[in-house]
Structure 1
Amino acid sequence: MRDHGGFEGNGQTLRILSRLEKFSEAAGSNLTRETLLGVLKYPAPFSEVANPDLHPRMLADTSGTPLLDRKASEPPKCFLDCEQDVVDWILSPLSKGDQDAFRQFDIRAGRHAKVRHKSLACSIMDLADDISFGIHDLEDALELRLIDQKQFQAHVPAAACQGLLDYLNSQYRGQYGNDVYGGLLDRLFGDGNDRKHQINRILNFVIPSIQIRDEAEFEEPRLRYRTEVPKPVADFLAAVTKLVYEEVICSPSVQHLEFKGQMMVIAVFEVMKSEPKRFLPCDAYAKFASSSDPMRIICDYVSGMTDSHLLRTYERLFAPRMGSVFDKL
C-alpha cells in the first residue's frame, strides 16, 4: 500500500468501525462521536506525518529471496487519508482553536512525524495498555520462564523501581527485610503464589497513583484532561516495558514468527493485487470493481484476515499439496 495511502493498524481500526462493519448502511458500527474520539489515537493523516525518506521497501542486498526491510517499512502513527471525512465529522463540534491544536504534530529528523495530543479517553486506554503490556506481560514472561533474574536486574535495577521499593517498604513494613529490592526479586522469581501476590502489590502501587493532568490550551474537557502517573511510577513502567520488549518480543523465537507473518501478508497481498478478478472472492471483487479506491479494498480484505484464515490462504496459494476446489474462501 506504500503508493496507495499507506496502512497503519490504529487507522484501520477507525476505518473498520466507521465504514467496514455492517451494522449500518454506510456508517460502519454507527458509533457516536464520543466513542470514535476514543478510538482516534493519532489525529493526523498519513499524508502529513509520513516521512517520504522512509519509503517502505524490500531489502536490496539479499541473494534471490526478497525480504522486507522492516525498519524502513514501519508506518507512521496516524489515521488513513480515506477517513479524513470521518475525522472531520468527529471533531466538528469542537472550536476551530481546539481542532487546530488537537491536530498538531512534531517533525522528527529521520523518522515519521509524531502527533502531540490525544483525547482523555485515549489517554486512559494508553495507560491501561502500558499497565497491561508492562505488568501483566511481565507476569506471563516470568510464569513461562522467558525472563531470568539476571535479565530483570539488567533492565529494571533498583534505581528504576525506587518508587515501588518505597511503597513496599511503607505498606508492608518488615516483610522485605533490609533489602527490599532483593525481597522483590525473591517473590517475582519464587513460586507461583509468591509471584501472583507480588504482581498484585505492584498493581496496587501503580493503579491508585493515576492522576489527571490539565492541558490548559484546550476548551473542550475531553481534550483538556489527560491521565498520567507520577514520574517514579512512569519510570518503573518504562523499565518493565523495555525489559519485556527487549528480552521477549525481540527474542529470536518471537521474531521468527513475526517475520513469517509479515512475509505471508506481503505474499498474499501481492497475489490478490496481481489479478484481483482471479484471486479475490466474488464479494470482495465486487467491492473492488465498484470502488474509487480499489487498492484499499484489497488491503481491507487481507488486513481483515484472522491468523488461521491467512495461513489457509497462503498455503492454498503456495503449498503444492494444500488446497481444493471445494475449499470455502
Structure 2
Amino acid sequence: MKRAAQAERPELSRGRLHPEPPSATRTPFARDRDRIIHTTAFRRLKGKTQVFIAHEGDHYRTRLTHSLEVAQIARSLAAALHLDADLAEAVALAHDLGHPPFGHAGEDQLQASMARFGGFDHNVQTFRIVTKLERRYPDFDGLNLSWETVEGVIKHNGPVDHRLGEPAWRAIADYARDWDLRWDSFASLEAQAAAVADDIAYNNHDVDDGVQAGLFTLDDLSGLPLVGPAIASVRRDWPDLDEERTRFEAVRRLIGMMIEDVLAETRRRVAASGAETPEDVRRAGRPLIAFSREVNEALARLRAFLMERMYRAPSVNHMRASAQRVLDEMFEQLMAAPDRMPSAWAERAVGDEARTARAVCDYIAGMTDRYALEAHMRLFGLSRPVEM
C-alpha cells in the first residue's frame, strides 16, 4: 500500500510505556484501536447524549454513534492522504471517552463541582481513562497504548503546553514525568485527521438531528453558506423528493463537500510547509490538515445558527438545568457519604477530601444518562427520575 512520507509508520512506533511483545496479527495502531473498542468506557458511550438526552429518541446521535461516524470520516481522510488509517481511527474512537453524562451540561456541572479539587476537563478525563482508569490488564493500569496514539488522544487539537498549568490538567503534567509526549508540538497527521473528522461529523449531524427534532427546518437553513447551496442542489435534482430524503441527501453532500475541501487544503498546506517526515509535521507550527478559509467562515455561520436555534433552544435549556441539578445533588451526596458508591469506587475515595472528590467525579463521569437518573433516584429515595 502506498504510504505518504509524512505518515506515521507502525513499525517505527516509539512503543508503549510498559513494553509488550508485538502482536503476530496486528500493527501497534490496529491493536490500540481494538483495545479502545473493548473498553467499558467505549461501551458506555451508547448511553451518553450528544445534544439530546439519550432516552429522548432512538434516532438522535449518542456519543457512541458520533464516535463511529468520526472514525469513518477519519479513515476516509487517512486513506485519501495515504496515512495510517488504523491510527486515525484509534484516535477518533477514543476522542470522546471522557465525556460525562448529559453532554456539555454535565461537563459544566462537574467543572463547577470540582472547582476546589483540581477541576474537570473531558479531554483530560479521556487521557485518564486510557492511561489509568481502565483496569483490564494484570501488569498495568490503563490500556498501555502506543506513544503515537496517546499523543493523538491528548493533542489532536494542537499543542497543550499552555494548558499544563491548569489544575484539571495536572494529571497530564504528572504523566509527562514518565513519558515525554512533547506537549508543545502538534500531533501526527493521523491525529489531525481525527480532529477535522470530528468537526465534519458534529456540524452535519447536528443539522440532521436539529431538523428531525423540529428545532428548525430546511428552509431555515437555506440562507446559510455551504448548507443552503447543498439543500438547493438536492431540490433542483429531485424537485418532488420528500423532506426527509432531501435532508439525508443534503447532509450526505455536505459531508462530501467538506471532505473534498479538507483534502485540497491539506495538500496545499503540506506542499507549502515542505514537510517530508512525521517530525516535520510536528514542527510545522500550524495544523496541516484543515478546512480552507472559505469553508471555515461558512462553518462559523453554521455554528452561530446552531448555537441560537439548537444548543440554546428552550427544550435543550430545560434539559440542561435538570441535568446539572441531578449531577450537583449526586456529587454533594456522595462527597458526604462515599460509601454509597459501589465498593470499587468507595475504596478509591479513601483519603483526603480532594481524593474523595476525584473518586466521586470519576464515578459520576463514567455514568450513562439513564444510569445517572436512576442513581440519583436511588440516592434520594425518589419514586421516579427527575423530569428532563
- Shorter chain as denominator, the TM-score bin is 0.5 to 0.7
| Aligned residue identity for 2:150 | L
Counterpart of 2:121 in structure 1 is 8
The one of 300, 312, 316 equivalent to 2:362 is 300
- The one of 246, 270, 278 equivalent to 1:194 is 246
Alpha-carbon shift at residue 227 of structure 1 (Å): 0.7
Deviation of 1:238 after TM superposition, in Å, equals 2.4
Q: 2:234·2:246 contact (CA, 8 Å) conserved in 1?
A: no
1:138 to 198, 201, 207: 207
Q: Which residue of 2 aligns with 1:289?
A: 350
Contact 2:211 2:218 in 1 (8 A): no
Distance 1:45 1:26 in 2: 29
The 5 A counterparts of 1:165-314 are: 165=229, 191-210=243-262, 211-212=265-266, 213-214=269-270, 220-223=279-282, 224=284, 226-277=288-339, 279-289=340-350, 293-314=355-376
Q: Take 1:5 and 1:45, find their aligned partners in 2: how far apart are those partners?
A: 17
Equivalents in 2 of 1:306, 1:244: separation in Å?
25
Other structure's SS at 1:226 match: coil
Alpha-carbon deviation of 1:5? 0.9
Q: Could you tell me the percent identity over the aligned residues?
A: 24
2: CA distance, partners of 1:135 / 1:252: 22
Q: TM-score, normalised by structure 1?
A: 0.66
Equivalent of 1:82, from 171, 182, 191?
Answer: 171
Q: Structure 1 counterpart of 2:217, which letter?
A: D
Deviations 1:31-77 (A, max 9, x none): 11111111104624766247xxxxxxxxxxxxxxxxxxxxxxxxxxx
Query: What is the deviation of 1:14?
Result: 0.5
Q: 1:27 maps to which residue? A: 141
**Contact 1:248–1:254 at 8 Å: present in 2 too?**
yes
The answer to whether the Cα contact below 8 Å between 1:209 and 1:230 also exists between their aligned partners in 2 is yes
1:56-108 CA-to-partner distances (Å, cap 9, x unmatched) read: xxxxxxxxxxxxxxxxxxxxxxx62023232454535xxxxxx4743xxxxxx
Q: Which residue of 1 aligns with 2:165?
A: 48
For the pair shown, the structure with the greater C-alpha radius of gyration is 1
Give the drift of 1:20: 0.5
Distance in 1 separating the partners of 2:215 and 2:183 = 45
Distance in structure 1 (CA, Å) of the matches to 2:291 and 2:325: 38
Indicate how the Cα distance of structure 1 residues 198 and 181 shifts in structure 2: closer, same or farther if over 3 A, else same. Answer: closer
Residue 182 of structure 1, CA deviation = 11
- Whole-Å Cα distance in 2 between the matches of residues 17 and 240 of structure 1? 33
Bigger RCO (CA 8 Å, 6+ sep): 2
Q: Contact conserved, 2:188 with 2:278, CA < 8 A, in 1?
A: no
The worse-fitting range, judged by mean Cα deviation, of 9-18 and 290-299 is 290-299
**Is 1:273–1:295's contact at 8 Å kept on the other side of the alignment?**
yes
Q: Which residue among 66, 82, 91 is the counterpart of 2:180? A: 91
8 Å Cα contact 1:135-1:240 kept in structure 2 = no
8 Å CA contact 1:127–1:228 kept in 2: the answer is yes
Q: Distance in 2 between matches of 1:202 and 1:268?
A: 41
1:121 and 1:263 map into 2 onto residues whose CA distance is 39
Amino acid at match of 2:257: F
Q: Which of 219, 222, 226 matches 1:161?
A: 226
**Structure 2 CA distance for aligned equivalents of residues 303 and 8 of structure 1:** 10
Length, aligned pairs only:
257
Which range is displaced more, 14-23 or 225-234?
225-234
RMSD: 3.6
Measured after TM superposition, the shift of residue 141 of structure 1 is 2.1
Shift of 1:284: 1.5
The question of whether the paired residues in 2 share the 8 Å contact of 1:45 and 1:84 is answered with no
